[in-house]
Structure 1
Amino acid sequence: MHLPQFIDYLQYEKKYSLHTINAYQKDISDFAVFAEENFEETNLAEISYSIIRSWIVKLVDEEVSNRSINRKISSLKTFYKYLLKTKQIEVSPLAKHKSLKVSKKVQVPFSAKEVETVIANFSAEGFSDVRDQLIIELLYSTGMRRAELINLKLESIQIESSQIKVLGKRNKERMIPLLPSVKKTFIAYLKEREQLEINSESDYLLLTNKGKKLYDTLVYRIVNGYFSRVSTKTKNSPHIIRHSFATHLLNEGADLNSVKELLGHSSLASTQVYTHNSIKELSKVYLKSHPRNKK
Protein backbone atom coordinates (compact mmCIF):
# COMPACT_ATOMS: atom_id res chain seq x y z
CA MET A 1 0.00 0.00 0.00
CA HIS A 2 1.23 3.49 -0.83
CA LEU A 3 -0.26 5.21 2.24
CA PRO A 4 2.88 5.44 4.46
CA GLN A 5 4.84 7.21 1.72
CA PHE A 6 1.88 9.52 1.09
CA ILE A 7 1.71 10.44 4.79
CA ASP A 8 5.43 11.26 4.75
CA TYR A 9 4.79 13.44 1.70
CA LEU A 10 2.05 15.37 3.52
CA GLN A 11 4.19 15.81 6.62
CA TYR A 12 7.60 16.65 5.21
CA GLU A 13 6.91 18.16 1.78
CA LYS A 14 3.47 19.71 2.13
CA LYS A 15 4.03 20.46 5.84
CA TYR A 16 0.40 19.81 6.74
CA SER A 17 -0.67 19.91 10.38
CA LEU A 18 -0.97 16.67 12.37
CA HIS A 19 -4.75 17.16 12.54
CA THR A 20 -5.01 17.40 8.74
CA ILE A 21 -2.72 14.42 8.20
CA ASN A 22 -4.77 12.28 10.58
CA ALA A 23 -7.95 13.23 8.72
CA TYR A 24 -6.41 12.27 5.35
CA GLN A 25 -5.13 8.99 6.77
CA LYS A 26 -8.51 8.03 8.21
CA ASP A 27 -10.42 8.87 5.02
CA ILE A 28 -8.08 6.85 2.81
CA SER A 29 -7.90 3.95 5.26
CA ASP A 30 -11.71 3.83 5.46
CA PHE A 31 -11.91 3.69 1.67
CA ALA A 32 -9.23 0.99 1.51
CA VAL A 33 -11.23 -1.17 3.93
CA PHE A 34 -14.38 -0.64 1.84
CA ALA A 35 -12.59 -1.58 -1.41
CA GLU A 36 -11.14 -4.74 0.09
CA GLU A 37 -14.30 -5.92 1.83
CA ASN A 38 -16.64 -5.25 -1.07
CA PHE A 39 -14.48 -5.70 -4.18
CA GLU A 40 -11.48 -7.69 -2.89
CA GLU A 41 -9.28 -4.87 -4.18
CA THR A 42 -6.18 -4.23 -2.05
CA ASN A 43 -4.13 -2.12 -4.45
CA LEU A 44 -5.38 1.47 -4.36
CA ALA A 45 -3.31 2.31 -7.44
CA GLU A 46 -5.57 0.03 -9.50
CA ILE A 47 -8.90 1.30 -8.20
CA SER A 48 -11.54 2.27 -10.76
CA TYR A 49 -13.96 5.15 -10.39
CA SER A 50 -16.88 2.71 -10.19
CA ILE A 51 -15.54 1.47 -6.83
CA ILE A 52 -15.22 5.04 -5.55
CA ARG A 53 -18.74 5.77 -6.76
CA SER A 54 -20.00 2.71 -4.85
CA TRP A 55 -18.35 4.08 -1.73
CA ILE A 56 -20.09 7.42 -2.25
CA VAL A 57 -23.44 5.64 -2.61
CA LYS A 58 -22.77 3.75 0.63
CA LEU A 59 -21.95 6.99 2.46
CA VAL A 60 -25.11 8.63 1.14
CA ASP A 61 -27.17 5.62 2.30
CA GLU A 62 -25.59 6.03 5.73
CA GLU A 63 -26.83 9.65 5.71
CA VAL A 64 -23.34 11.13 5.75
CA SER A 65 -23.67 14.79 4.71
CA ASN A 66 -22.61 15.85 1.22
CA ARG A 67 -20.10 18.23 2.78
CA SER A 68 -18.44 15.37 4.68
CA ILE A 69 -18.47 13.12 1.61
CA ASN A 70 -16.80 15.85 -0.44
CA ARG A 71 -14.12 16.15 2.21
CA LYS A 72 -13.44 12.41 2.10
CA ILE A 73 -13.24 12.45 -1.70
CA SER A 74 -10.92 15.45 -1.48
CA SER A 75 -8.57 13.28 0.59
CA LEU A 76 -8.67 10.63 -2.13
CA LYS A 77 -8.05 13.23 -4.82
CA THR A 78 -4.93 14.44 -3.03
CA PHE A 79 -3.75 10.83 -2.64
CA TYR A 80 -4.18 10.09 -6.35
CA LYS A 81 -2.47 13.36 -7.29
CA TYR A 82 0.47 12.12 -5.24
CA LEU A 83 0.45 8.80 -7.13
CA LEU A 84 0.40 10.76 -10.40
CA LYS A 85 3.27 12.95 -9.28
CA THR A 86 5.36 9.94 -8.30
CA LYS A 87 4.43 8.23 -11.61
CA GLN A 88 2.74 5.28 -9.89
CA ILE A 89 -0.40 5.81 -11.97
CA GLU A 90 -1.04 7.46 -15.32
CA VAL A 91 -4.60 8.67 -14.79
CA SER A 92 -6.44 9.50 -11.59
CA PRO A 93 -9.72 7.58 -11.15
CA LEU A 94 -11.17 10.86 -9.89
CA ALA A 95 -10.13 12.91 -12.93
CA LYS A 96 -13.72 13.55 -14.03
CA HIS A 97 -15.41 13.44 -10.63
CA LYS A 98 -17.72 16.32 -9.72
CA SER A 99 -18.31 17.23 -6.08
CA LEU A 100 -21.74 16.74 -4.56
CA LYS A 101 -23.83 19.88 -4.18
CA VAL A 102 -23.88 21.39 -0.72
CA SER A 103 -25.91 24.22 0.74
CA LYS A 104 -23.85 27.22 1.76
CA LYS A 105 -23.56 27.51 5.52
CA VAL A 106 -23.87 31.10 6.70
CA GLN A 107 -21.88 31.62 9.86
CA VAL A 108 -23.56 34.23 12.04
CA PRO A 109 -20.91 36.27 13.87
CA PHE A 110 -21.14 37.60 17.38
CA SER A 111 -22.09 41.25 17.55
CA ALA A 112 -19.49 43.72 18.80
CA LYS A 113 -21.72 44.28 21.82
CA GLU A 114 -21.76 40.57 22.68
CA VAL A 115 -17.97 40.41 22.55
CA GLU A 116 -17.57 43.55 24.65
CA THR A 117 -20.08 42.23 27.20
CA VAL A 118 -18.11 39.00 27.62
CA ILE A 119 -14.81 40.85 28.09
CA ALA A 120 -16.36 43.44 30.46
CA ASN A 121 -17.70 40.68 32.74
CA PHE A 122 -14.27 39.26 33.60
CA SER A 123 -13.19 39.93 37.18
CA ALA A 124 -9.47 39.73 36.32
CA GLU A 125 -8.87 37.80 39.55
CA GLY A 126 -7.07 34.46 39.66
CA PHE A 127 -5.22 32.50 37.02
CA SER A 128 -8.21 30.91 35.24
CA ASP A 129 -10.16 34.13 34.91
CA VAL A 130 -7.24 36.14 33.55
CA ARG A 131 -6.22 33.31 31.21
CA ASP A 132 -9.76 32.97 29.85
CA GLN A 133 -9.93 36.71 29.26
CA LEU A 134 -6.61 36.64 27.39
CA ILE A 135 -7.82 33.72 25.26
CA ILE A 136 -10.95 35.57 24.17
CA GLU A 137 -9.16 38.90 23.68
CA LEU A 138 -6.46 37.26 21.57
CA LEU A 139 -8.98 35.38 19.42
CA TYR A 140 -11.07 38.51 18.83
CA SER A 141 -8.24 41.02 18.38
CA THR A 142 -6.14 38.85 16.04
CA GLY A 143 -8.59 36.48 14.31
CA MET A 144 -6.18 33.60 14.83
CA ARG A 145 -7.27 29.98 14.59
CA ARG A 146 -7.74 27.82 17.67
CA ALA A 147 -4.69 25.68 16.80
CA GLU A 148 -2.61 28.82 16.34
CA LEU A 149 -3.68 30.09 19.76
CA ILE A 150 -2.83 26.81 21.47
CA ASN A 151 0.65 26.72 19.93
CA LEU A 152 1.63 30.27 20.88
CA LYS A 153 4.96 30.43 22.69
CA LEU A 154 6.02 32.97 25.29
CA GLU A 155 8.33 34.48 22.72
CA SER A 156 5.40 34.89 20.28
CA ILE A 157 4.22 38.10 21.91
CA GLN A 158 6.55 41.05 21.41
CA ILE A 159 5.42 43.63 23.95
CA GLU A 160 7.78 46.45 22.96
CA SER A 161 6.80 46.41 19.29
CA SER A 162 3.14 45.60 20.08
CA GLN A 163 3.08 42.57 17.80
CA ILE A 164 2.33 38.90 18.01
CA LYS A 165 3.94 36.24 15.83
CA VAL A 166 1.52 33.52 14.72
CA LEU A 167 2.54 30.23 13.15
CA GLY A 168 -0.21 29.31 10.70
CA LYS A 169 -0.93 26.47 8.32
CA ARG A 170 2.07 24.87 6.61
CA ASN A 171 4.35 26.63 9.12
CA LYS A 172 3.71 30.02 7.54
CA GLU A 173 4.47 32.86 9.96
CA ARG A 174 2.62 36.17 10.09
CA MET A 175 2.84 39.22 12.35
CA ILE A 176 -0.35 40.73 13.81
CA PRO A 177 -0.55 44.08 15.66
CA LEU A 178 -1.35 43.80 19.36
CA LEU A 179 -3.96 46.11 20.88
CA PRO A 180 -2.99 48.05 24.05
CA SER A 181 -5.88 46.43 25.97
CA VAL A 182 -4.57 42.96 25.10
CA LYS A 183 -1.06 43.92 26.23
CA LYS A 184 -2.51 44.89 29.60
CA THR A 185 -4.29 41.54 29.96
CA PHE A 186 -1.14 39.72 28.82
CA ILE A 187 0.95 41.35 31.55
CA ALA A 188 -1.69 40.47 34.17
CA TYR A 189 -1.73 36.88 32.91
CA LEU A 190 2.05 36.51 33.14
CA LYS A 191 1.94 37.51 36.81
CA GLU A 192 -0.66 34.81 37.49
CA ARG A 193 1.24 32.30 35.35
CA GLU A 194 4.41 32.71 37.42
CA GLN A 195 2.63 31.21 40.42
CA LEU A 196 1.83 27.93 38.65
CA GLU A 197 3.82 24.75 38.99
CA ILE A 198 5.12 24.65 35.44
CA ASN A 199 6.14 21.44 33.69
CA SER A 200 8.37 20.92 30.66
CA GLU A 201 5.83 22.64 28.40
CA SER A 202 6.53 25.97 30.06
CA ASP A 203 7.53 27.65 26.79
CA TYR A 204 3.88 27.61 25.70
CA LEU A 205 2.08 30.87 26.47
CA LEU A 206 -1.34 29.58 27.51
CA LEU A 207 -1.56 26.78 30.05
CA THR A 208 -4.10 24.76 32.01
CA ASN A 209 -4.50 25.17 35.76
CA LYS A 210 -2.00 22.32 36.14
CA GLY A 211 0.64 24.09 34.09
CA LYS A 212 0.21 21.98 30.96
CA LYS A 213 -0.35 23.01 27.35
CA LEU A 214 -3.92 23.92 26.37
CA TYR A 215 -5.94 21.50 24.23
CA ASP A 216 -8.73 21.92 21.68
CA THR A 217 -11.74 20.92 23.76
CA LEU A 218 -10.72 23.14 26.68
CA VAL A 219 -10.49 26.21 24.45
CA TYR A 220 -13.90 25.36 22.97
CA ARG A 221 -15.43 24.93 26.45
CA ILE A 222 -14.01 28.27 27.58
CA VAL A 223 -15.38 30.17 24.57
CA ASN A 224 -18.73 28.37 24.62
CA GLY A 225 -19.09 28.85 28.37
CA TYR A 226 -18.70 32.63 28.28
CA PHE A 227 -20.57 33.37 25.06
CA SER A 228 -23.55 31.13 25.85
CA ARG A 229 -24.31 33.57 28.69
CA VAL A 230 -24.69 36.56 26.36
CA SER A 231 -25.64 35.00 23.01
CA THR A 232 -28.64 32.96 21.84
CA LYS A 233 -26.65 31.41 18.99
CA THR A 234 -26.58 27.63 18.79
CA LYS A 235 -22.87 27.65 18.00
CA ASN A 236 -20.45 29.53 20.23
CA SER A 237 -17.03 28.44 19.06
CA PRO A 238 -13.52 29.88 18.58
CA HIS A 239 -14.16 29.89 14.82
CA ILE A 240 -17.18 32.14 15.28
CA ILE A 241 -14.91 34.63 17.07
CA ARG A 242 -12.54 34.45 14.07
CA HIS A 243 -15.54 35.03 11.81
CA SER A 244 -16.61 37.98 13.99
CA PHE A 245 -13.12 39.48 13.82
CA ALA A 246 -13.15 39.45 10.01
CA THR A 247 -16.74 40.62 9.67
CA HIS A 248 -16.35 43.52 12.10
CA LEU A 249 -13.18 44.72 10.37
CA LEU A 250 -14.88 44.61 6.97
CA ASN A 251 -17.97 46.37 8.36
CA GLU A 252 -15.72 49.19 9.56
CA GLY A 253 -14.20 49.60 6.12
CA ALA A 254 -11.07 47.45 6.34
CA ASP A 255 -9.52 46.45 3.03
CA LEU A 256 -10.21 42.85 2.00
CA ASN A 257 -6.53 42.22 1.24
CA SER A 258 -5.54 43.45 4.71
CA VAL A 259 -8.06 41.13 6.36
CA LYS A 260 -6.74 38.29 4.20
CA GLU A 261 -3.20 38.86 5.53
CA LEU A 262 -4.37 39.11 9.14
CA LEU A 263 -6.31 35.85 8.85
CA GLY A 264 -3.39 34.06 7.20
CA HIS A 265 -5.36 33.06 4.11
CA SER A 266 -3.46 32.05 0.98
CA SER A 267 -6.09 33.48 -1.37
CA LEU A 268 -8.84 36.09 -1.40
CA ALA A 269 -11.40 33.37 -2.15
CA SER A 270 -11.06 32.10 1.43
CA THR A 271 -11.52 35.60 2.86
CA GLN A 272 -14.56 36.43 0.74
CA VAL A 273 -16.75 34.01 2.70
CA TYR A 274 -16.71 36.62 5.47
CA THR A 275 -18.05 39.43 3.31
CA HIS A 276 -21.77 38.60 3.32
CA ASN A 277 -22.34 40.53 6.54
CA SER A 278 -20.28 43.51 5.43
CA ILE A 279 -22.50 43.75 2.34
CA LYS A 280 -25.39 44.64 4.66
CA GLU A 281 -23.38 47.51 6.09
CA LEU A 282 -22.32 48.56 2.62
CA SER A 283 -25.96 48.61 1.53
CA LYS A 284 -26.84 50.93 4.40
CA VAL A 285 -24.09 53.35 3.42
CA TYR A 286 -25.09 53.11 -0.23
CA LEU A 287 -28.77 53.83 0.38
CA LYS A 288 -27.94 56.65 2.75
CA SER A 289 -25.37 58.30 0.51
CA HIS A 290 -26.44 57.85 -3.12
CA PRO A 291 -27.90 61.09 -4.55
CA ARG A 292 -30.71 59.27 -6.35
CA ASN A 293 -31.89 57.62 -3.14
CA LYS A 294 -31.79 60.91 -1.22
CA LYS A 295 -34.44 62.27 -3.55
Structure 2
Amino acid sequence: MNLSNEFFYKLESEEIVSRISIEFYKKDILDFEEYLNGKDILEVTQEDIMVYLKYLKSKYAENSIIRKITSLKSMYKYFVKKDYIATSPVEKISTTRKHIKIGKKIKGYEIKAILDVCGESRKEKRDSLIIKLLSETGLKISEVLNLEAIRLKKNNYKSFIINRGNEYIITEISIDLSHELREYVEKLEIELDSHVDKIFYDITNQNFKDRFIKYGKKANLEREVLPSMIRNKCISERKKEMLNSIKENRLEEIRKEYLKIGIGDEN
Protein backbone atom coordinates (compact mmCIF):
# COMPACT_ATOMS: atom_id res chain seq x y z
CA MET A 1 0.00 0.00 0.00
CA ASN A 2 1.50 3.35 -1.01
CA LEU A 3 1.37 6.27 1.42
CA SER A 4 -1.48 8.19 -0.17
CA ASN A 5 -3.63 5.04 -0.21
CA GLU A 6 -2.75 4.53 3.44
CA PHE A 7 -4.06 8.03 4.14
CA PHE A 8 -7.28 7.31 2.20
CA TYR A 9 -7.75 4.04 4.10
CA LYS A 10 -7.33 5.90 7.41
CA LEU A 11 -10.03 8.40 6.42
CA GLU A 12 -12.41 5.65 5.34
CA SER A 13 -11.84 3.36 8.34
CA GLU A 14 -12.16 6.08 10.98
CA GLU A 15 -15.14 7.72 9.21
CA ILE A 16 -13.76 11.15 10.10
CA VAL A 17 -15.16 12.83 7.00
CA SER A 18 -18.02 12.11 4.60
CA ARG A 19 -17.73 9.86 1.57
CA ILE A 20 -18.01 12.89 -0.75
CA SER A 21 -15.15 14.64 1.10
CA ILE A 22 -12.98 11.53 0.81
CA GLU A 23 -13.53 11.50 -2.94
CA PHE A 24 -12.39 15.13 -3.10
CA TYR A 25 -9.30 14.24 -1.05
CA LYS A 26 -8.50 11.42 -3.44
CA LYS A 27 -8.87 13.55 -6.54
CA ASP A 28 -6.83 16.43 -5.13
CA ILE A 29 -3.99 14.20 -3.91
CA LEU A 30 -3.88 12.01 -7.02
CA ASP A 31 -3.74 15.18 -9.14
CA PHE A 32 -0.81 16.35 -7.00
CA GLU A 33 1.01 13.02 -7.42
CA GLU A 34 0.53 13.26 -11.18
CA TYR A 35 1.96 16.80 -11.07
CA LEU A 36 5.01 15.52 -9.15
CA ASN A 37 5.78 13.28 -12.14
CA GLY A 38 7.51 10.54 -10.16
CA LYS A 39 9.02 12.59 -7.33
CA ASP A 40 8.67 10.91 -3.92
CA ILE A 41 5.76 12.44 -2.04
CA LEU A 42 7.86 12.46 1.16
CA GLU A 43 10.63 14.48 -0.50
CA VAL A 44 8.39 17.40 -1.40
CA THR A 45 9.60 20.74 -0.02
CA GLN A 46 7.84 23.99 0.78
CA GLU A 47 9.39 25.44 -2.39
CA ASP A 48 7.78 22.62 -4.39
CA ILE A 49 4.41 23.49 -2.86
CA MET A 50 4.86 27.19 -3.71
CA VAL A 51 5.55 26.29 -7.35
CA TYR A 52 2.53 23.98 -7.32
CA LEU A 53 0.40 26.79 -5.90
CA LYS A 54 1.47 29.04 -8.76
CA TYR A 55 0.51 26.26 -11.19
CA LEU A 56 -2.92 25.93 -9.54
CA LYS A 57 -3.54 29.66 -9.84
CA SER A 58 -3.07 29.40 -13.61
CA LYS A 59 -5.78 26.74 -13.93
CA TYR A 60 -8.28 26.85 -11.07
CA ALA A 61 -10.56 29.22 -9.19
CA GLU A 62 -9.96 30.26 -5.58
CA ASN A 63 -12.34 27.75 -3.98
CA SER A 64 -10.76 24.84 -5.85
CA ILE A 65 -7.24 25.95 -4.93
CA ILE A 66 -8.12 26.31 -1.24
CA ARG A 67 -9.65 22.83 -1.25
CA LYS A 68 -6.63 21.25 -2.98
CA ILE A 69 -4.13 22.83 -0.57
CA THR A 70 -6.32 21.86 2.40
CA SER A 71 -6.31 18.24 1.16
CA LEU A 72 -2.51 18.26 1.04
CA LYS A 73 -2.33 19.80 4.51
CA SER A 74 -4.42 16.94 5.91
CA MET A 75 -2.31 14.27 4.22
CA TYR A 76 1.05 15.70 5.27
CA LYS A 77 -0.25 16.27 8.82
CA TYR A 78 -0.96 12.53 8.89
CA PHE A 79 2.56 11.78 7.61
CA VAL A 80 4.07 13.91 10.41
CA LYS A 81 1.91 12.13 12.99
CA LYS A 82 3.18 8.76 11.68
CA ASP A 83 6.80 10.04 11.78
CA TYR A 84 7.23 9.54 8.03
CA ILE A 85 8.50 13.14 7.85
CA ALA A 86 9.64 15.66 10.47
CA THR A 87 7.69 18.67 9.24
CA SER A 88 4.93 19.28 6.70
CA PRO A 89 5.93 21.16 3.53
CA VAL A 90 2.41 22.63 3.46
CA GLU A 91 2.32 23.73 7.10
CA LYS A 92 3.21 27.38 6.42
CA ILE A 93 1.16 27.70 3.24
CA SER A 94 -1.86 29.88 4.04
CA THR A 95 -5.27 28.91 2.70
CA THR A 96 -6.94 32.24 3.45
CA ARG A 97 -8.46 34.07 0.49
CA LYS A 98 -6.03 36.93 1.06
CA HIS A 99 -3.13 34.67 0.03
CA ILE A 100 -4.97 32.52 -2.53
CA LYS A 101 -6.78 35.42 -4.22
CA ILE A 102 -6.41 35.33 -7.99
CA GLY A 103 -8.41 38.27 -9.35
CA LYS A 104 -8.01 36.93 -12.87
CA LYS A 105 -9.89 38.34 -15.82
CA ILE A 106 -11.80 36.24 -18.29
CA LYS A 107 -10.76 36.54 -21.93
CA GLY A 108 -13.12 37.61 -24.70
CA TYR A 109 -12.70 34.31 -26.53
CA GLU A 110 -13.56 32.42 -23.32
CA ILE A 111 -16.86 34.30 -22.97
CA LYS A 112 -17.65 33.58 -26.62
CA ALA A 113 -16.83 29.87 -26.16
CA ILE A 114 -19.17 29.67 -23.18
CA LEU A 115 -21.98 31.46 -25.00
CA ASP A 116 -21.51 29.10 -27.95
CA VAL A 117 -22.21 26.03 -25.79
CA CYS A 118 -25.33 27.51 -24.18
CA GLY A 119 -28.23 25.60 -25.70
CA GLU A 120 -31.77 26.54 -26.71
CA SER A 121 -33.68 25.55 -23.56
CA ARG A 122 -35.24 28.38 -21.55
CA LYS A 123 -32.73 27.97 -18.71
CA GLU A 124 -29.79 27.98 -21.12
CA LYS A 125 -31.13 31.08 -22.87
CA ARG A 126 -31.57 32.65 -19.44
CA ASP A 127 -27.93 31.86 -18.57
CA SER A 128 -26.75 33.25 -21.91
CA LEU A 129 -28.68 36.46 -21.26
CA ILE A 130 -27.18 36.83 -17.78
CA ILE A 131 -23.66 36.35 -19.18
CA LYS A 132 -24.27 39.00 -21.86
CA LEU A 133 -25.61 41.44 -19.26
CA LEU A 134 -22.57 40.88 -17.05
CA SER A 135 -20.24 41.35 -20.03
CA GLU A 136 -21.87 44.57 -21.23
CA THR A 137 -22.47 46.26 -17.90
CA GLY A 138 -19.71 45.07 -15.57
CA LEU A 139 -22.32 44.78 -12.81
CA LYS A 140 -22.16 42.39 -9.89
CA ILE A 141 -23.91 39.04 -10.36
CA SER A 142 -26.35 39.83 -7.55
CA GLU A 143 -27.28 43.11 -9.26
CA VAL A 144 -28.09 41.38 -12.54
CA LEU A 145 -30.04 38.57 -10.85
CA ASN A 146 -32.18 41.13 -9.01
CA LEU A 147 -33.28 42.99 -12.14
CA GLU A 148 -37.00 43.78 -11.99
CA ALA A 149 -39.24 43.52 -15.03
CA ILE A 150 -41.24 46.64 -14.14
CA ARG A 151 -38.13 48.83 -14.18
CA LEU A 152 -36.96 47.41 -17.50
CA LYS A 153 -40.38 47.97 -19.08
CA LYS A 154 -40.48 51.53 -17.76
CA ASN A 155 -37.29 52.33 -19.69
CA ASN A 156 -38.35 50.31 -22.74
CA TYR A 157 -35.67 47.68 -21.99
CA LYS A 158 -32.94 50.17 -22.95
CA SER A 159 -31.60 50.96 -19.50
CA PHE A 160 -32.12 50.35 -15.80
CA ILE A 161 -31.06 51.84 -12.49
CA ILE A 162 -28.94 50.02 -9.91
CA ASN A 163 -29.04 51.17 -6.30
CA ARG A 164 -25.75 50.78 -4.41
CA GLY A 165 -26.41 52.21 -0.98
CA ASN A 166 -26.73 55.95 -1.50
CA GLU A 167 -25.53 55.76 -5.11
CA TYR A 168 -27.79 55.25 -8.12
CA ILE A 169 -26.17 53.94 -11.29
CA ILE A 170 -27.91 54.31 -14.64
CA THR A 171 -26.89 51.41 -16.89
CA GLU A 172 -27.58 51.38 -20.61
CA ILE A 173 -27.43 48.30 -22.80
CA SER A 174 -27.02 47.71 -26.53
CA ILE A 175 -29.97 47.55 -28.94
CA ASP A 176 -29.41 43.85 -29.63
CA LEU A 177 -29.32 42.95 -25.95
CA SER A 178 -32.36 45.16 -25.32
CA HIS A 179 -34.36 43.21 -27.94
CA GLU A 180 -33.16 39.90 -26.50
CA LEU A 181 -34.12 40.95 -22.98
CA ARG A 182 -37.60 42.08 -24.07
CA GLU A 183 -38.20 38.83 -25.95
CA TYR A 184 -37.11 36.76 -22.95
CA VAL A 185 -39.39 38.62 -20.51
CA GLU A 186 -42.41 38.49 -22.83
CA LYS A 187 -42.00 34.74 -23.44
CA LEU A 188 -41.50 34.16 -19.71
CA GLU A 189 -44.73 35.97 -18.86
CA ILE A 190 -46.62 33.94 -21.45
CA GLU A 191 -45.14 30.75 -20.05
CA LEU A 192 -46.07 31.68 -16.46
CA ASP A 193 -49.37 33.26 -17.50
CA SER A 194 -48.62 36.21 -15.24
CA HIS A 195 -46.40 39.24 -14.87
CA VAL A 196 -42.97 38.56 -13.40
CA ASP A 197 -41.25 40.56 -10.69
CA LYS A 198 -37.58 39.59 -10.90
CA ILE A 199 -36.87 38.25 -14.37
CA PHE A 200 -34.21 35.83 -13.08
CA TYR A 201 -36.34 34.67 -10.16
CA ASP A 202 -35.49 30.99 -10.68
CA ILE A 203 -31.73 31.07 -10.19
CA THR A 204 -29.45 31.92 -7.26
CA ASN A 205 -25.94 33.34 -7.28
CA GLN A 206 -24.41 29.96 -6.36
CA ASN A 207 -26.55 28.06 -8.86
CA PHE A 208 -25.49 30.39 -11.67
CA LYS A 209 -21.84 30.08 -10.64
CA ASP A 210 -22.08 26.26 -10.76
CA ARG A 211 -23.75 26.32 -14.17
CA PHE A 212 -21.16 28.82 -15.47
CA ILE A 213 -18.29 26.53 -14.42
CA LYS A 214 -19.99 23.60 -16.19
CA TYR A 215 -20.32 25.67 -19.38
CA GLY A 216 -16.60 26.40 -19.17
CA LYS A 217 -15.82 22.69 -18.95
CA LYS A 218 -18.23 21.91 -21.78
CA ALA A 219 -16.46 24.54 -23.89
CA ASN A 220 -13.13 22.74 -23.19
CA LEU A 221 -11.49 25.83 -21.75
CA GLU A 222 -7.95 25.22 -20.50
CA ARG A 223 -8.69 26.68 -17.06
CA GLU A 224 -11.60 26.96 -14.65
CA VAL A 225 -13.39 30.29 -15.06
CA LEU A 226 -15.84 32.05 -12.76
CA PRO A 227 -18.53 34.63 -13.54
CA SER A 228 -16.76 37.12 -11.22
CA MET A 229 -13.92 37.17 -13.76
CA ILE A 230 -16.26 38.95 -16.19
CA ARG A 231 -16.53 41.93 -13.86
CA ASN A 232 -12.75 41.93 -13.38
CA LYS A 233 -12.42 42.17 -17.16
CA CYS A 234 -14.88 45.07 -17.38
CA ILE A 235 -13.21 46.98 -14.54
CA SER A 236 -9.79 46.53 -16.17
CA GLU A 237 -11.05 47.75 -19.54
CA ARG A 238 -12.70 50.81 -18.00
CA LYS A 239 -9.49 51.70 -16.15
CA LYS A 240 -7.61 51.55 -19.45
CA GLU A 241 -10.22 53.75 -21.12
CA MET A 242 -9.98 56.26 -18.27
CA LEU A 243 -6.18 56.35 -18.43
CA ASN A 244 -6.27 56.82 -22.21
CA SER A 245 -8.78 59.63 -21.82
CA ILE A 246 -6.59 61.34 -19.21
CA LYS A 247 -3.54 61.02 -21.49
CA GLU A 248 -5.44 62.44 -24.46
CA ASN A 249 -6.73 65.38 -22.41
CA ARG A 250 -3.25 66.06 -21.09
CA LEU A 251 -1.77 65.99 -24.59
CA GLU A 252 -4.45 68.39 -25.78
CA GLU A 253 -3.62 70.76 -22.90
CA ILE A 254 0.08 70.61 -23.80
CA ARG A 255 -0.71 71.26 -27.47
CA LYS A 256 -2.76 74.34 -26.54
CA GLU A 257 0.03 75.66 -24.32
CA TYR A 258 2.55 75.19 -27.13
CA LEU A 259 0.31 77.07 -29.54
CA LYS A 260 0.04 79.95 -27.08
CA ILE A 261 3.81 80.45 -27.12
CA GLY A 262 4.13 79.86 -30.85
CA ILE A 263 5.47 76.30 -30.80
CA GLY A 264 3.77 74.15 -33.39
CA ASP A 265 2.07 77.16 -35.01
CA GLU A 266 2.48 76.61 -38.73
CA ASN A 267 1.58 80.21 -39.53
Q: Under a length normalisation based on structure 1, what TM-score does the superposition of the two structures give?
A: 0.44
Bigger radius of gyration among the two: 2
Q: Highest relative contact order (Cα 8 Å, sep 6+), 1 or 2?
A: 2
